[in-house]
Structure 1
């Protein structure tokens, strides 16, 4: 896993923020599609029509008076996740992994009283975590149980996979591993590890934490250079299907591998960050141009995924 300096990445076709915003997001993303991906509930309903699985929806809390029924609904649940429908960057997401009488146990081991969770739901409805501070709804989903083959590499949090999809083609991918520094969240800015993945095989290529190279996970001590994602071709096809579901030309697709259900979509992002390039040690521009230069686009999600696996393979 060799370290590649930002200057060299520039020469390798690094996409910068301005160019991403003007040449790709503004050009290829219809404004009308934004509400669909900026709202997790709308995303779930839209992608379901295209055969893309998401964690099971247990409850939607839309009004303050519905909060009183929450504990009733959660009575028999071992674990669940509460999410603001219009939240971003993981803000406002609370993951509950167990119960101890009236105490809810978080992934970190911290305990919350039922009243605290209800207060959290009130804050979500008030728009505390929504993109523009507008009123929101809370969605309660089944807990993702990460596949053991990936879970062992992450500290507490569920590892997820970000795939950048351009014109329906998966062009670059990375695995995000939570650390103690990132508080068990797969957020690179907070200290999660970004592991570049070979689009052709789903194997790890390169890894960074705080934009510096790493070979071992700082908390689990495991080597990161020999990870392989199961059901990789299925994940790429799922990511590709999100193009038909949303009409977005440039987006980030976030997936997880559930131990029981296989690949699941967590969320979509119409403005995906650029750290995926550092994780891969490669710039996005050459791959985006390859797709732009296609004389004859592929019409099915599987054809696009297969083309990407063949064209962008590191082998």
Structure 2
């Protein structure tokens, strides 16, 4: 492991926060389009209209007096996920995997009573987890079922796949694996493992936890060298289609593999983080530059995904991991 200077980071093509904000978000993401992805309910309805598979919506709550209807709303469902409509970074998401005698169990096995869930929902509505702390709404969704391919790579939760899409072209991907440290959530800041994924093949490249290289899952001990994500073409095509759906030139598409329904979109982000570069041991800048040189944007998401597979393919087989670690002051992750 080494600490990289700003000069070294630039040589790797690493994009920092300032460059991301000014050169990508401000330039390619019109502000009037932000509500399409900052509001998860709008994103879900937009995706459904576009024919893109998303988790089933079980219910919504918009006002504090709606909390009293929560018991009846949850009664038919043994499993569900509660989300703030305007939350970010995984904050405020509550996953329930079992309901038994009025006790609601989290993936960790911790039990909650209805009053605990009502309190959590009330906090969401008051804006505790929303962008800017403004009053929010609550979405209740069906729980995604773990695809067996990830059984040995995830701990008490559902992994997701973050794909960076630039002008409709998928340019970098990362698998986020849940851990005990992350409380079963696919959030890197909370301790999930980020695994860089080869755009060309869907194979694992490198893996990091808390910014440091790891060779195997910290809880299951399963090594990452043989990990290949199934349905990779479909996942890339879904991510590419999010550009047409939203009009955002630079976005992060978060997808999952459901055991029964296959690939689906769970969230879009107009300000995707940059830790994906560390997981891939590669910078975004060279890939952005390649897309910016194109004379026109192919209108077909399928064709754009295929272009990206050919252009950004890194390997045809497993490679030993390398290490890239940045100073926090460099703002690269």
TM-score of the pair, normalised by structure 1: 0.96
Kindly indicate whether the alpha-carbon contact (under 8 Å) linking 1:151 and 1:158 is maintained by their aligned counterparts in 2.
no
Aligned residue for 1:195? 195
RMSD, matched Cα: 1.3
Q: Please list, as runs of the form range in 1=range in 2, the aligned pairs for 1:269-288 lying within 5 A after superposition.
A: 269-288=269-288
Q: Distance in 2 between matches of 1:39 and 1:23?
A: 24
Q: Distance in 2 between matches of 1:94 and 1:5?
A: 36
Aligned residue for 1:120? 120
Q: Please list, as runs of the form range in 1=range in 2, the aligned pairs for 1:1-12 lying within 5 A after superposition.
A: 6-7=4-5, 8-12=8-12
Kindly indicate whether the alpha-carbon contact (under 8 Å) linking 1:181 and 1:192 is maintained by their aligned counterparts in 2.
yes
Are 1:100 and 2:100 counterparts? Answer: yes
- Cα distance change on mapping 1:6 and 1:202 into 2, 3 Å: farther
Are 1:131 and 2:156 counterparts? Answer: no
Q: Please list, as runs of the form range in 1=range in 2, the aligned pairs for 1:1-315 lying within 5 A after superposition.
A: 6-7=4-5, 8-315=8-315
Provide the secondary structure at the position in 2 that maps to 1:224: coil
Provide the secondary structure at the position in 2 that maps to 1:145: coil
Kindly indicate whether the alpha-carbon contact (under 8 Å) linking 1:4 and 1:281 is maintained by their aligned counterparts in 2.
no
Provide the secondary structure at the position in 2 that maps to 1:297: coil
Q: Distance in 1 between matches of 2:195 and 2:164?
A: 14
- CA shift digits 1:37-58 (9 cap, x unpaired): 1110011011212221110000
Provide the secondary structure at the position in 1 that maps to 2:277: helix
Higher mean alpha-carbon deviation, 264-273 vs 65-74, is at 65-74
Q: Distance in 1 between matches of 2:80 and 2:306?
A: 35
Q: Distance in 2 between matches of 1:74 and 1:183?
A: 22
Q: Distance in 1 between matches of 2:167 and 2:136?
A: 30
TM-score of the pair, normalised by structure 2: 0.91
Kindly indicate whether the alpha-carbon contact (under 8 Å) linking 2:36 and 2:43 is maintained by their aligned counterparts in 1.
yes
Q: How many residues align?
A: 313
**1:180 CA drift (Å):** 1.8
**1:4 CA drift (Å):** 7.4
Q: Distance in 2 between matches of 1:62 and 1:112?
A: 22
Unaligned runs of 5+ in 1: none
**1:211 CA drift (Å):** 1.6
